[in-house]
Amino acid sequence: MHRQLIGIVFVVLILTPILSHAQVDQGRQLNVSQQFRLGDRMIRVAEPGELVDSVNVWGDVNSAGRYLVPQDTRLPELISYSFGPSTIRDREANIDWTKLRLEVKVSRFDENRRRVEVKNFKYKYSEPEPVEMFEYDLKNNDIVTLQVKRRPAFIDYVRVIAPVISSVATGFLIVERLR
């Protein structure tokens, strides 16, 4: 019993300062490492030490942000890194993908940084991607914007016209009541 009591006192008196010192050091290390972490929506795809380009991905993608991608990354790969085009959902059901059009726009400064060069790729979702997309060289600080478009359906027209007709009818009824 006496030896167990001495063992407990040893642990409390000797190991407690050592453990608390280790926790303080761990806290300091955490604070230092947080200073160098990547910002929000900064996504690293390239391996550490690999030559990278920093490319912005905006628009109708499932994960927009600034991507650190390996050099020589092609446009379809970049779109895949951002989890592809986002689905358009109506309240009632998913929209038919075969009737959608995709527009991909790549913007960059020219060599003199005087004007912006823009390259557009437009195609229907049911068609193969344009060959030029696979051959297009992405560069550092490019901005890639993807937009998913669809033709308006009948319900879209109803949703625009119905409030107008309702407002006109309500105004007419108010004027009639005030007479």
Q: pLDDT-based confidence at 126, cuts 50/70/90?
A: confident
CA dihedral in degrees (161, 166, 172, 177; nearest 10)? 180
Query: Would the pLDDT of 2 be above 70?
Result: no
Q: What is the pLDDT of residues 18-76, one digit of tens each?
A: 545 444 444 444 444 333 445 567 788 888 878 888 899 998 888 888 988 888 888 99
Q: Encoding tokens for residue 146?
A: 């993807």
Euclidean distance between CA atoms 177 and 23, whole angstroms: 77
DSSP string, 10-32: HIIIIIHHHHHHHHHHHHHHHHH
The number of CA neighbours under 13 Å toward the Cβ of 146 is: 27
- Judged against a pLDDT cut of 60, whether residue 103 lies above it is answered with yes
List pLDDT tens digits, range 159-177.
Answer: 889 899 999 989 989 988 8
**pLDDT of 130 above 70:** yes
User: What is the mean pLDDT of the segment spanning 154-162?
Assistant: 83
Q: Tell me, what's the pLDDT at 30?
A: 41
